[in-house]
Structure 1
Amino acid sequence: MGLTSNNTLVPAALATVALFACTVWLWPRLARRGWRSVSGRVGLLFAVQLSLFVSVGLFANQTFGFYASWADLFGQETDQGVVVDHTPGNRSSGPLRVTEIGGVPGRSGFRPSSVGQVQKVDIVGRTMHIASPAYIYLPPEYFQERYRARTFPAAVVLTGYPGTARALVDKLHYPRTALQLVKDGRMRPMILVMLRPTVAPPRDTECVDVPGGPQTESFFAEDLPQAVTQHYRVTEGPRSWGIIGDSTGGYCALKLAMHHPGVYAAGAGLSPYYKAPVDPTTGDLFQGDKALRNRANLWWCLKHLPGPDTSLLVSSSKEGEANYKDTLKFIERVKAKETTRISSIILESGGHNFNTWRREIPATLEWVSGLLGDR
């Protein structure tokens, strides 16, 4: 039974109810002072608490997509290896392999030319040798005959930490939202590349090129766009790619757009922070390299480096988000840079969660689409 499956959650919840009922039934019989009665009461209370903790944890994980599998939870992921797709009809072979093909969740119909397609892929960077699974959303136009020779802009979409890439499809509804926005005439068709910023699980690399470790920033700035462009009809040029993320992914999106404006013409951070943390999940990201530490601090970049020629979007809420004051400060700092554009989504209230981000995603996709070119 999978970690995110109802076949795991439902038995855990039923076990909690059964243990609670058992405790109520047996408690009068254990209301004595002997060691056996005391041990029985302690055991029942412990069992109920443990079962409740497991049930709540499973429900929270299923809702927010922290871990995708038991192996992911216990840091035992082994999803590595270089893969090359030789399927006839691809633009060229490269380090990207399609492993699953499906429709858009929440939308009826199975014809790609009507509802688009979501593909699960394995990507391995040729230069950085980082492997990561991802989901690719291809809009209906990608499969329609009249667009046979057309290329499409693309946007990388990142989760928070630890996050699961599938949550971007099933919980945050990126493909479904993009499909509806195009039908409503609010955005142009766009390819979405959805994955975790955690490319070396369980470590949180914060999209940093770690000395002697994963070169995560370079993977997102070089290898990922290259692999996707080789496999799909992605528009080539300096205004072809955008990047979106929430929480940790939001920090990564802003940083990648600021550091690599020639790659990412737009970067949107939903509930982002603006400086890479160092904690038990990250380990030592900088190995004493002060220049690398400064580079990962967006406040330092805005103060000491020229403004990058890119467009940024940040989001927060007046009540419920811890980054509200920092976000207002960030907006003012960016406004002082003549070559950098800044936009924002500020809600009256909303916590650091999926529900808040789902309220911000439609406007974010529309904003990104308006800044990217196609042909």
Structure 2
Amino acid sequence: MSLTSNPVLVSAVLSAVLLFTGTVWLWPRLARRSLRAVGGRIGLLLGTQVALFAAVGLAANQSFGFYASWADLFGQEKDQGVVVDHPPGGGPLEVVGSRRVPGAGGAPPRTGGRIQQVDIVGRTTHIASPAYVYLPPEYFQPRYRTHRFPTAVVLTGYPGTASALVDKLHYPRTALELSRAGRAKPMILVMLRPTVAPPRDTECVDIPGGPQTESFFAKDLPDALRTHYRVAQKPGGLGIIGNSTGGYCALKIALHHPDVYGAGAGLSPYFKAPIDATTGDLFQGDKALRNHADLLWFLAHRPAPDTSLLVSSSKVGEKDYRDTLRFIERVRDTGRTRISSIILESGGHNFNTWRREIPAALEWMSGRLSGP
């Protein structure tokens, strides 16, 4: 039976109930001080606890889609994502069911690159956010001293931590390996979280009377990068990529600001900002602002921007699969905005799935950014 099937969840719940009932029923018989009685008590308590945690974990997994299968849960899903381009037109899409760079060793910056931890302060929005900046080896090599490098802004999900992009998702290591293999240009990576006003989830929205998060990513961040690093000056030299909430932000910012970002990639994204306890009222009742943040509405009612987009999902394990196919078709209908996808057969909403997609996504990003 599959990890997400109802029979597995029901079995776990029944096991927890039966073990709890058995513990209550048998406890008087195990009240002696013999080794056998003590072992029985330990076994019943341990079994009940394990069954209870399994039931809660399975229920949470069904609700939030962290893992799609047993193989996904135990880290055995290894198939790498493959980018597929979707030209305009065509038939409907298939729907199936509902520091030093890690891995560089002790190499000096000219060989292994460097990661800098910085604080980015928005000149116009006055938003401040910590970030990690990966500079590739070529950045320090004499023959590239006048070059400006293609740059990708990398966003976590919510709440997320910027360090997870380095330690868990291995963005710098992957970029270094792709460059060494000749599959991608040397790129600067600017890694941060979209949560710029913690603990509030601002969904990269310019909130009336609140944090101007979209403006921070669309104006202040690019300005700060151009001031302090040799990043490409043209729009085609800057891209943005993220997972989950960061994926929604990446797609939205690329769509809204094609003059700044030449490409946007969303891994397991959603396509409109939620309103919940973590966000508060993002739009203050402003329907026009809410529509503007809905990517499907935007594509249907606004001129199609000249930019390239990438989305990823899984046929089994991701709740956004159908919405992702709708988004692809909506983009194709514009005839102007370009769309590509990575669709896995199976993969949940978790780091293991995104690690399988990141190499192909960075290679795709490199192919759409100008640079040396």
TM-score (ref. length: structure 2): 0.75
Alpha carbons 2:185, 2:371 under 8 Å: kept: no
Structure 1 residues 1-375: aligned runs within 5 Å: 31=31, 102-375=99-372
Aligned residues: 293
Q: 5+ unaligned residues in a row in structure 2: which ranges? A: 1-26, 33-40, 58-98
CA–CA separation in structure 1 for the residues paired with 2:243 and 2:297: 21
- Pairwise CA distance, 1:31: 4.3
**1:17 matched residue in structure 2:** none
- Pairwise CA distance, 1:28: 8.2
**2:78 matched residue in structure 1:** none
Query: What amino acid is the match of 1:185?
Result: G
* More relative contact order, 1 or 2 (CA 8 Å, 6+ apart): 2
CA RMSD of aligned residues (A): 2.4
Q: Report the identity percentage.
A: 76
- Pairwise CA distance, 1:30: 9.6
CA–CA separation in structure 2 for the residues paired with 1:300 and 1:288: 17
Deviations 1:134-175 (A, max 9, x none): 000000000011111111010100000000000000000000
Deviations 1:192-216 (A, max 9, x none): 0000000000000000001111000
CA–CA separation in structure 1 for the residues paired with 2:249 and 2:356: 21
CA–CA separation in structure 2 for the residues paired with 1:31 and 1:125: 66
CA–CA separation in structure 2 for the residues paired with 1:133 and 1:29: 59
Q: 5+ unaligned residues in a row in structure 1: which ranges? A: 1-26, 33-40, 58-101
- Structure 1 stretches (4+) deviating beyond 4 angstroms? 27-32
Alpha carbons 2:250, 2:265 under 8 Å: kept: yes
Deviations 1:280-327 (A, max 9, x none): 000010001111100110111011111111000000011111111111
Alpha carbons 2:117, 2:131 under 8 Å: kept: yes
Deviations 1:26-65 (A, max 9, x none): x889949xxxxxxxx9xxx8xx97xx98xx99xxxxxxxx
